[in-house]
Amino acid sequence: MTLKEIAERARKDVKVPIAERDVERAISALLASEDIWRVLDLSGTPVMALVRVLSTLRELGLLSWDGGRLVLTPAGRELADNLGIGPRRELKCPHCGGRGTTLGPVERIAGKFREIAADRPEAIQDYDQGYVTEETTLHRVAFMWSRGDLYGKDLIVLGDDDLVSIACALTRAPRKVVVLEIDRRLVEFIGDVAEKEGLPIEVKQHDLREPLPPELKARFDTFFCDPTESLRGFKVFAERGIAALKGPGSAGYLGLTHCEASYAKWREIQRFLLEAGAVIAELRDAFHDYVNWPYIDHMRSWPHLPVHRLPGREEIWYRSALIRIEVVEGPTIEERRYEGDIFADEEAATT
């Protein structure tokens, strides 16, 4: 049995891309853990592809999950051995959790931010919400500061269930922070905090399927967003963010997962960013850790999972890369109006 044969069998009758390398990553993750959430995390493979690979391995007698654990059979272990696949090693830096940054001046607002975030609105499925840990938001702010994209700058945040605008403004580093957010609860929450703390935040209710309000076009030094991950949805966020930037030297930040985006999709996204006039200046994988959202047993991939154990709230398995782009020329953006569902595509797993 080869990786190619397993991948071909897994791909049968499904639209989601499954590469041979995904099969290798799955086996490597299975050698490292028997827990479904750890395997999802360690495999770095889209959930909807991974569940197909797991079923295929089981059909071939290489994997079993009868006791609620994902256990490679003796035949599965023998195959891994024959193919030269070893257990996945994470090897994260214990000091920064692999982010490569320290909080520095952001440390002094950490307590205040955690206190504010304790009263945040809970994530809801309507807008594909799912927020990152407070630790993650603080590291994002430190990262932006360290790259010269925060201090003295005008910042726009597109969709802010992570409360990035509040953390940024609490540091008093940015000149101004504008938030566009569709969820009325968050608009009110961020507005109330800004008023109470005297923060330079302006928050507007806005559906990003609509083009930017004209007064926000080409006005900002930095944008931040954590897009929904259908290719179409990702472009909606990226287009609005890039359209908000002043021009060359302006920077943008976006999140991107492996859970819902294959490398085929990453490539499309990278092509889109390059064609818009930007360079991918930095990409830090697994920078963002997400708190498990309350609708996890109603997400798209749930019925396909081999084992149905609810993870703990802070049992992190869903992570995303932090991408920093910088505009080199242009930018060139065709501002379109989008209709209908922007959340779904064949790789969507948590919508």
Q: Is position 337 an interface residue for Fe ion (rule: CB under 5 A)?
A: no
Query: Which of the stretches 61-69, 90-98, 245-253, 324-332 binds Fe ion when contact is defined by CB under 5 A?
Result: 90-98
User: What is the closest distance, in whole angstroms, from the C-beta atom of residue 100 to Fe ion in the complex?
Assistant: 6
Q: Which stretch binds Fe ion (CB under 5 A): 91-99, 199-207, 231-239, 262-270?
A: 91-99
90 binds Fe ion (CB under 5 A): no
Q: Which is nearer to Fe ion, 282 or 341 (CB)?
A: 282
Q: Which stretch binds Fe ion (CB under 5 A): 15-23, 92-100, 162-170, 230-238?
A: 92-100
Amino acid 287 reads: F
Q: Minimal distance in Å, beta carbon 103 to Fe ion?
A: 12
Give the nearest distance from C-beta 255 to Fe ion in angstroms. Answer: 20
Shortest Cβ distance from residue 131 to Fe ion (Å)?
24
d(CA 204, CA 206): 6
Rank residues 285 and 341 by Cβ distance to Fe ion and give the closer one. 285
Output Rg (C-alpha) for the chain, integer angstroms.
21
- What would the 3-class secondary structure string for the chain be? CCHHHHHHHHHCCCCCCCCHHHHHHHHHHHHHCCCHHHHHHHHCCCHHHHHHHHHHHHHCCCEECCCCCCEECHHHHHHHHHHCCCCCCCCCCCCCCCCCCCCHHHHHHHHHHHHHHCCCCCCCHHHCCCCECHHHHHHHHHHHHHCCCCCCCEEEEECCCCCHHHHHHHCCCCCEEEEEECCHHHHHHHHHHHHHHCCCEEEEECCCCCCCCHHHCCCECEEEECCCCCHHHHHHHHHHHHHHECCCCCEEEEEECCCCCCHHHHHHHHHHHHHCCEEEEEEEEEEEEECCCCCHHHCCCHHHCCCCCCCCCCCCCCEEEEEEEEECCCCCCCCCCCCCCCCCCCCCCCC
To Fe ion, the closest distance from the beta carbon of 94 in angstroms equals: 8
Q: List the one residue out of 332, 160, 180 whose CA is nearest residue 245.
A: 332
Q: Provide the minimum distance between the beta carbon of 98 and Fe ion in the complex, in angstroms, as a whole number.
A: 7
Binding pattern to Fe ion, positions 27-66, x when CB under 5 A? ----------------------------------------
Specify the residue, 219 or 284, whose C-beta has the smaller distance to Fe ion: 284
**End-to-end alpha-carbon separation of the chain, Å?**
35
Contact stretch for Fe ion (CB under 5 A) within 63-71, 87-95, 168-176, 206-214? 87-95
Which of 12/95 has CB closer to Fe ion? 95
Nearer to Fe ion, 93 or 118 (CB): 93
Least distance (Å) from Fe ion to the CB of residue 19?
Answer: 30
Q: Under rule CB under 5 A, how many of the chain's residues touch Fe ion?
A: 3
Nearer to Fe ion, 139 or 235 (CB): 139
Per-residue x/- marks for Fe ion, 93-132, CB under 5 A?
x-xx------------------------------------
When the beta carbons of 96 and 274 are compared against Fe ion, the nearer one is 96
Is residue 91 near Fe ion by the rule CB under 5 A? no
Which of 11, 324 has the CB closer to Fe ion?
A: 324
Q: How far is CA 72 from CA 32, 65, 101, 311, 319, in A?
A: 11, 9, 37, 22, 25
Shorter beta-carbon distance to Fe ion: residue 95 or 337:
95
Residues near Fe ion (CB under 5 A) are 93, 95-96
